[in-house]
Structure 1
Amino acid sequence: MIAAFSVTPLGIGEDVGEAVAAAVRVVRASGLPNRTDAMFTSIEGEWDEVMPVIRAAIEAVKAYSGRVSTVIKIDDRAGVTDGLTAKVATVERHLAEG
């Protein structure tokens, strides 16, 4: 499965980069395939691997704020591995074809 999620601390002002970095640090330390962009962090693995990492990322942000907003989108498809790379490669291939 791939889970794309965003964790945002509330009530600490506009500069949330330090708190978000704490969440990303947790994800990267998990050893699971992951990618971070301007809006979401995506992580790939089995349900029982991914969900505890997301929870730990939320807890890391809670160290900065007592209130945290979290958005999670999950693509749970049996038999798919390396989806983070393969999905992007497919789109890029179609773009290259014209």
Structure 2
Amino acid sequence: MLFAFSVAPATTDDPDGSVSAAVADAIRVVRESGVPYRLDSMFTTLEGEWDECMPVIKAACDAVAKKSPRVSLVVKADLRPGVTDQLTAKVERVEQHLHES
């Protein structure tokens, strides 16, 4: 299963509005969890089961909450029990189609 999530403070004291320091705290939690993940500019995608991914997402929110009293969270899930190694395989399948045309 894949869980794509975006977590950020809804408020910031940074003069330019940046939320990167709080997001870095959230990613630190993800890295320390040991759950396979991929980071991009808008989302972090975890691969694993409900019971291992949801606590990581909650802990990432808790890390952001230390910087802001209000936290924004978006989660999207691809629930395919028994299917693994999709962090890269899904992208590879799309790339294959692009090279065929």
TM-score (norm 1): 0.96
C-alpha deviation, 1:2, in angstroms: 0.5
For the pair 1:5 / 2:5, whether they are aligned, the reply is yes
TM-score (norm 2): 0.93
Which ranges of structure 2 fall in alignment gaps of 5 or more residues? Answer: none
For residues 23-42 of structure 1, what are the structure 2 equivalents within 5 Å? 23-42=26-45
For residues 12-23 of structure 1, what are the structure 2 equivalents within 5 Å? 12=12, 13=14, 14-23=17-26
Identity of aligned residues (%): 60
Pairwise CA RMSD of aligned residues?
Answer: 0.8
Distance 2:32 2:100 in 1: 37
C-alpha deviation, 1:24, in angstroms: 0.7
Aligned residues, how many? 98
For the pair 1:82 / 2:58, whether they are aligned, the reply is no
Q: Which amino acid aligns with 2:98?
A: L
- Bigger mean CA deviation after superposition, 57-66 or 10-19: 10-19
**Structure 1: 4+ residue segments shifted above 4 A:** none
